[in-house]
Amino acid sequence: MECIFRNVRIIDPTSPNHQLVRDVWIKDGTIIEIKAKIKNNKKTKEFQAKDTCLSPGWIDLGCLHGEPGYEHRETLQSIAQAACKGGYTAICCFPNTDPVIHSKSEVNFIKTKSSKLPVNIYPIGAISKECKSEELAEILQMEQAGAIAFSDGKKPIQKSGLLMRALEYVKLIPNGLIINSCVDKGIAASGQMHEAYTSTSLGLKGIPALAETIHVFRDIEILKYSQSRLLIHKLSTSEAVNQLKQEKTKLKNLFCSVSVFNLMYNDTQMEDFNVNLKLDPPLRSEGDRKSLIKGIQDGTIDIICTDHTPWDVEMKDLEFQSAAFGAINLETAFAAYCTLLAKELTIDHWVQAVSINPSRILQIPTGSIQVGATGDFTWFDPLKEWTYDVATSASLSKNSPFHGKTLKGKVLGCISKSNFYPV
């Protein structure tokens, strides 16, 4: 594959070409030339559109798919196509399948089945067998098979001793990483949304911020003891952001992420009982949302994730109290950012949090936009408007809060695995 992107704004904080408008010539995934004007080459495909940008490929952390076991919700093929349409050239999938990804055989299955798909799919191995928080899974064997990190995914580790042993165990792996969501299930219990005025007025049981902050404190203290590497997944409260801001100055191997949903919305969005905004973690207060925004701006929060969680109709199209937590978002995360967050977070913030930082923390090569660099790249228009329709979505599940909405910001194509995939 050989192509030239003409008059693109380069968005890559690691590159000397950052924010310059240039022609970029790419051959087999390697950048051959970057100039204000590259001569026409009849053998080379050219791509040009007004106000477009080119960045290193985007990486999503912690999305869920359904293969094996829940293929009616999402297959590896469908999630790869959804990721490509959303601008993601690599996705790191949680192990909550059936069977759970808790041994080298499941990791090998994911790697083999996804090898010819348009994006790179990196399996995250389970910390515990069956994700039951009882016995450590085969961590070293999974790493040798290709697991990129270790987590029980949507089942946060409740037992402190197990988390401590897992953190100590991954020290045997160069740059080994544990990923854990911080929720105390005993405190969260059967809560349905953020505990505040809105939950009371709607008559819904709340999930207090304490359920997150007490586990953030616990996980950080265990990290200090183990001296390992930990990523706290999907912060949602201002208290947690403040804790991370203080501790990250002393702990170089402490990282954190946030769902783009928690950056965009607060709990008042739940007043119409929209089940597609019933999320985990829940949408919190406006003060929490603003703290999360500030956390991205000052670098406290490293990664923005799509929080892509596919559910079939039988699990989602129910009364609010019975509906499952989560929404699909791989295809719409960037557009939602451009539509709802562009006044608070710049495009530089976006690329840093979905490309540069995930690449560094997860040790996933994504490339840099400078001559001689090889990698994956995303071509996008932050101003183009379009309407999202779940009927034309690549995802097999349809639980999206953006159905029928006109959004601003469109991915135009990706270079992944040395091939160009137009959107």
Please give the Cα distance from 234 to 60 (Å, whole number): 12
Please give the Cα distance from 95 to 199 (Å, whole number): 31
Q: What are phi and psi of 103, to 5 degrees?
A: -150, 170
Please give the Cα distance from 354 to 303 (Å, whole number): 6
Q: If you search the block for the tokens 């029980």, which residue do you land on? A: 152
Please give the Cα distance from 273 to 95 (Å, whole number): 30
Please give the Cα distance from 151 to 177 (Å, whole number): 9
Q: Catalytic residue at 307?
A: yes
Element (H, E) at 185: helix 185-188
Residue 396 contacts residue 75 (beta carbons within 8 Å): yes
In order of 23, 76, 90, 326, 361, the CA distances from 71 in angstroms are: 42, 8, 20, 17, 30
Among 23, 60, 152, 307, the one annotated catalytic = 307
Residue 21 contacts residue 9 (beta carbons within 8 Å): yes
Strand ranges (E), 108-182: 120-125, 149-150, 178-181
Strand ranges (E), 240-376: 254-259, 303-305
CB neighbours of residue 159 within 10 Å? 11
Residue 78 contacts residue 395 (beta carbons within 8 Å): yes
Please give the Cα distance from 231 to 301 (Å, whole number): 10
Q: What are phi and psi of 310, to 5 degrees?
A: -80, 135
Please give the Cα distance from 412 to 246 (Å, whole number): 39
Catalytic positions: 307
